[in-house]
Amino acid sequence: MHCPFCRHPDSRVVDSREADEGQAIRRRRSCPECGRRFTTVETAVLSVVKRSGVSEPFSRDKVIKGVRRACQGRDVDNDALVLLAQQVEDTVRASGSAEIPSNEVGLAILGPLRDLDEVAYLRFASVYRSFSSAEDFEREIDELRRHQRGEDTVSSTA
C-alpha cells in the first residue's frame, strides 16, 4: 500500500480492528518514510451480476433505494428499510458465492418485504417478475393469502 502523502511504496500496520459488524477491517498504517499515518478499509468483495453480464459491488443503499420506491405512500419507516437491507445482505452472503446474480438479490428482497408491507411487496414483485396482466397480480395475491394463512397456523399453535 503506497503512502498517500509521499507515495512511498511500503507502509507498516500499527492497528487493525473490525468494523461494520465484522464485515470490514480497518487498519491504521504508518509510513516509514514520512512518518504520517493513514487508514485503509478492507472488505470482502461481493458482486452483483446483472442480466447484461455487468457486475457491480453489492450495496445495501441500492437495495434500500429500490425498496423505498415500492414503499411510496406506505407507512414504512427508514429503520425498517435499513433492517431489510441488512437481512438481504445476510441472505446473499449466506449463499456462499462472491458473485450473486441480480435476480437472487431480488428474491432475497421479496421474503422480508412480504412481511413488511403487502402493497410494497406486490409493487416490487410486479416489477421484479415483470407482471404483464391482472392475472399475474391475482396469482401473487393468492400466494400472499396462502402465506398469511400458513403464518396464522404457526402462530395459533405457538
Residues near Zn ion (CB under 5 A) are: 3, 5-6, 8, 31, 33-34
In this structure, the number of other CB atoms found within 10 A of the CB of residue 144 comes to 15
Q: What is the identity of the amino acid at 46?
A: L
Using CA atoms, how far apart are residues 124 and 74, in angstroms rounded to an integer?
13
Cβ-contact 79, 67 below 8 angstroms: no
Q: Find the shortest distance in angstroms from Cβ 73 to Zn ion.
A: 53
Q: Find the shortest distance in angstroms from Cβ 88 to Zn ion.
A: 40
Q: Find the shortest distance in angstroms from Cβ 40 to Zn ion.
A: 14
Backbone angles phi, psi at 24, to 5 degrees: -145, 155
By C-beta, is 15 or 33 nearer to Zn ion? 33
By C-beta, is 5 or 137 nearer to Zn ion? 5
By C-beta, is 12 or 139 nearer to Zn ion? 12
By C-beta, is 18 or 33 nearer to Zn ion? 33
By C-beta, is 6 or 98 nearer to Zn ion? 6
Q: Find the shortest distance in angstroms from Cβ 37 to Zn ion.
A: 9
DSSP H helical segments within 1-133, as ranges?
60-70, 78-94, 102-116, 118-128
Using CA atoms, how far apart are residues 95 and 3, in angstroms rounded to an integer?
36
Backbone angles phi, psi at 113, to 5 degrees: -70, -35
Distance of CA 130 to the CA centre of its chain: 21
Q: Find the shortest distance in angstroms from Cβ 3 to Zn ion.
A: 3
